[in-house]
Amino acid sequence: MHFVTDILQNFSIYKQAFRIAFTKFSISVAFFYSLAIGVGIMAVLSRIQSFVPAGKKRASVFIASCLIALCLLFFIYPIFDGNFLYSRAKTTIPNQYFELFDYLKTVPRDERILNAPVGWNWGWTIYKWGYTGSGLLWYGAEQPIVDRTFDVWESSNENLYWELSNSMFSENFDKTKQLLDKYQIDWVLFDENVVPYPNVKAYKYSSQFKKNLLSSGNFQVVKTFTDPLNLSAPLYLVKVIHPNNIPGQKLSLLSGETLNIGPYVKWINNDTAFSGYNTYITDSKQPYDVYIPFRSLFTGRKTDERYFGVEQDNEGALTFLARLSVDIRDFDANTGNVQLSEPAFINASIKSGKTSLISVRLSKSDTPAVYNSYFDTNFLNHKATDCGSNSAGLFEQPSTNDKTLKFVSRNSDNCYDIALPELTHDKAYLISVAHKHLQGKPMQFALINHLSNRADIDVSLSENSEFDTDYFVIPPGKSDGIGYSLHFNSNSIGQYFTENELGDIQVYEMPYEYLTTLSFVNRNKATRKPTLAYFYSFHKEFRAYAISSDSMLDKFLPFLSGTRLENHYRVNNWANGWEADCSLIDCNQSQFVIIFWPQYLQYVGFGVVLIALLFVIIKKDGSKKLNHTPININ
């Protein structure tokens, strides 16, 4: 019946809902087992009663019940002997983790802790002392833990991973410190037991980050937790020294001088707005002070989750495109300190009196081609290779009439690698991949970093049935790094065919810093009200209120007497901010209360349960009063 499962796995909702089927059905199975055992015991006792005399029925039922209970106790006795879980599924947690939990009880509960090292993007942590899983720190620490495990719940959390990964693997630790300030992280817990990436070369990057933590003046090692038996490596609890030695304020009032910088981008791995201007807001309802059209050149996710486009003309010149939400005729262009060999041609399209699209045409001298498959004599000579573990699968590379490579696979990984060992990491590159998707899964593309042996990019190409071109940006990396590889995989799982084609593949140098810092500054400085900043991941259901009293009722139900701050926007592209009108509220004397209003639904649920319970009790008492014995008056 495996073909039924293969068919159902093609439906994304089913595949997601039953990705680990046992966890979905185990509770239901246990419930029905319990019902079946209960019904079976009742049937056995009823059968026993039918064979014994009337005067001995109670005694026989009691004896039979005791025997059944003893049998059950005998059957489940291993549970009480410490074997409820399979012994090989258990491991001993080193004592230093419990010492860490005890120490964290002395740390304020709202101080944020970064779980380091940061390396693998799967959110699945491997510990050298034997544990592998989603993590364990949050079961013993009350403080919020910043970890890849929780990124699935909020995209702005995931951006921290991409930004940290970009800075740490390029060993730009000044940028790393900026990110800790941006995300209001108070502590770094560096655990040497964590395997940062399943490759030995990646250890170098985590050790360099550890060296920076232990020696930089931006950090203070507060506590080191060691295992007296030396069965596990040390844990370092490091305090982050914020600017002016002021600890991270999770709720603060920002002045009206804070710049409004746009646009908002959902995915980013290099926030030039924060590195250039420090704390900022992004409020589309107010005029922008600064607009950075290419602030996100991130290409590490789906191809339809990007904020720029690329075109190439007949002369080979590249043009970068981005949407505009402001009329830049009121803005002055700022190209920063980056010098191009030839001036870029910047053009803005205007529709209905407003600019809607900006294009930056770069000269060929600023975007030289460093690889072109058209001139690669080995490109079309590639032979089909299965890089997976299933040697029984089908993998073919049929010939085509065009200058393309066709990959056919069934239950296999049909792979192709293009080595670019001379590309230095101190430069940025643009990768152009022409491809076509015919059936099955889309082509997988990974950019392998030779220095770390890590996939800096790992995505699926777009699923177009006609030839299309996807573009990928490699930001500048480690100054002395060298070597990349382009890895393609036409993957098939099960008995379904996968077919993809590859066309021209090109790699260009590109002026990454010029594009990401290109900004437009508003000539008219806007007068802006202060911002109440709440440094937790942005969510539209957060509400901010100003209250004048100190009563518990007003703090718990601020919407009854407080003044709501209406205009809700983002701070630093990830946190919450509200416009605070100090002419309506006393910003100096008022207390600000933040609520997440869906949380009140739990109290509504408790109320419904209580009302239902009272209804059952009252109904039962009423039934007893009505159920009286009739009086015979004859």
Question: What confidence tens digit (pLDDT) does each residue in 317-348 have?
Answer: 999 999 988 888 889 999 888 888 888 888 88
User: Is residue 239 exposed (0-12), middle (13-18) or buried (19+ Cβ within 10 Å)?
Assistant: middle
17 and 59: one domain? yes
Share of residues in the chain with pLDDT > 90 (%): 54
The confidence band for 53, taking pLDDT boundaries of 50, 70 and 90, is confident
Q: Is the pLDDT reported for residue 217 higher than 70?
A: yes
419 and 342: one domain? no
The confidence band for 626, taking pLDDT boundaries of 50, 70 and 90, is low
Residue 54 φ then ψ, to 5°: -60, -35
The confidence band for 417, taking pLDDT boundaries of 50, 70 and 90, is very high
Query: Domain for residue 287, yes or no?
Result: yes
Strand 219-225 to strand 235-240: parallel, antiparallel, or no bridges (unpaired)? antiparallel
Intra-chain end-to-end CA distance of the chain, in Å: 74
C-alpha pair distances (Å), 34 with each of 27, 31, 38, 596: 11, 5, 6, 39
Last residue of a domain, one of 73, 89, 105: 89
101 and 208: one domain? yes
Query: Domain for residue 588, yes or no?
Result: no
Q: Is the pLDDT reported for residue 358 higher than 80?
A: yes
pLDDT at residue 190 in the model? 95
403 and 497: one domain? yes
329 and 423: one domain? no
Query: Domain for residue 30, yes or no?
Result: yes
Query: Domain for residue 210, yes or no?
Result: yes
Contact 457, 496 (CB under 8 A): no
Q: Is the pLDDT reported for residue 386 higher than 90?
A: no
Average model confidence (pLDDT) across the chain: 88
Last residue of a domain, one of 510, 533, 555: 510
**Averaged over 42-51, what is the pLDDT?**
86
Residue 517 φ then ψ, to 5°: -105, -5
The confidence band for 149, taking pLDDT boundaries of 50, 70 and 90, is confident
45 and 8: one domain? yes
The confidence band for 246, taking pLDDT boundaries of 50, 70 and 90, is low
**Residue showing tokens 């796995």:** 9
| Helix H or strand E segment including 547 | strand 542-547
- CATH number where 479 lies: 2.60.120.260
Query: Domain for residue 627, yes or no?
Result: no
Q: Is the pLDDT reported for residue 572 higher than 90?
A: yes
**Averaged over 11-38, what is the pLDDT?**
80
Question: pLDDT of 21-30, one tens digit each?
Answer: 777 788 888 8
Contact 109, 143 (CB under 8 A): yes
Q: Which amino acid is at 3?
A: F
Q: Is the pLDDT reported for residue 567 higher than 90?
A: yes
218 and 330: one domain? no
Query: Domain for residue 406, yes or no?
Result: yes
Query: Domain for residue 29, yes or no?
Result: yes
79 and 130: one domain? no
Query: Domain for residue 590, yes or no?
Result: no
Three-state secondary structure readout of 592-630? EEEEEHHHHHHHHHHHHHHHHHHHHHHHHHHHHHHCCCC
3-state secondary structure of 588: coil
359 and 393: one domain? no
Domain extent for 268: 260-363+517-522
As a whole number of angstroms, the distance between CA 398 and CA 417 comes to 18
Segments of 293-353 assigned E as strands:
309-312, 318-323, 331-334, 345-351
Q: Is the pLDDT reported for residue 9 higher than 70?
A: no
pLDDT at residue 399 in the model? 65
User: Is residue 262 exposed (0-12), middle (13-18) or buried (19+ Cβ within 10 Å)?
Assistant: buried
Q: Is the pLDDT reported for residue 517 higher than 80?
A: yes
Contacts of 75 (CB under 8 A, 6+ apart): none
pLDDT at residue 235 in the model? 94
Measured torsion, CA atoms of residues 287, 293, 297, 298, in degrees rounded to the nearest 10? 20
DSSP per position, 354-409: EEEEEEEEE-TTTS-EEEEGGG-TTSTT---EE-SS-TTSEEE----SSS-EEEEE
209 and 297: one domain? no
Q: Tally Cβ neighbours within 10 Å of residue 551.
A: 10
106 and 243: one domain? yes
Q: Is the pLDDT reported for residue 286 higher than 70?
A: yes
pLDDT at residue 244 in the model? 64
Q: Is the pLDDT reported for residue 353 higher than 60?
A: no
Strand 405-410 to strand 394-396: parallel, antiparallel, or no bridges (unpaired)? antiparallel
Q: Is the pLDDT reported for residue 363 higher than 70?
A: yes
3-state secondary structure of 59: helix
Strand partners, 498: 409
Strand partners, 569: 577
User: Residue 121: which of 91, 160, 86 has the closest Cα?
Assistant: 160
Contacts of 572 (CB under 8 A, 6+ apart): 182, 183, 271, 274, 279, 280
pLDDT at residue 381 in the model? 82
pLDDT at residue 245 in the model? 53
Question: pLDDT of 584-615, one tens digit each?
Answer: 898 888 899 999 999 999 999 999 999 999 99
Question: pLDDT of 164-215, one tens digit each?
Answer: 999 988 999 999 999 999 999 999 999 999 887 776 666 778 888 899 999 9
Token pair recorded at residue 490 = 């036409």
Q: Is the pLDDT reported for residue 147 higher than 70?
A: yes
Token pair recorded at residue 336 = 């920063």
The confidence band for 391, taking pLDDT boundaries of 50, 70 and 90, is low
Token pair recorded at residue 238 = 């490091």
Last residue of a domain, one of 487, 510, 533: 510
Give yes or no for a cis peptide into 117 (omega within 30° of 0). Answer: yes
Angle at 158 between CA 289 and CA 594, to 5 degrees: 65
The confidence band for 634, taking pLDDT boundaries of 50, 70 and 90, is very low
Prediction pTM value: 0.85
As a whole number of angstroms, the distance between CA 159 and CA 506 comes to 28
As a whole number of angstroms, the distance between CA 65 and CA 71 comes to 10
Per the structure, the count of domains in the chain is 4
pLDDT at residue 345 in the model? 87
Buried b or exposed e, range 410-438, using 16+ CB within 10 angstroms: bbbbbbbebebeebbbeebbbbbbbbbbb
pLDDT at residue 55 in the model? 77
78 and 169: one domain? no
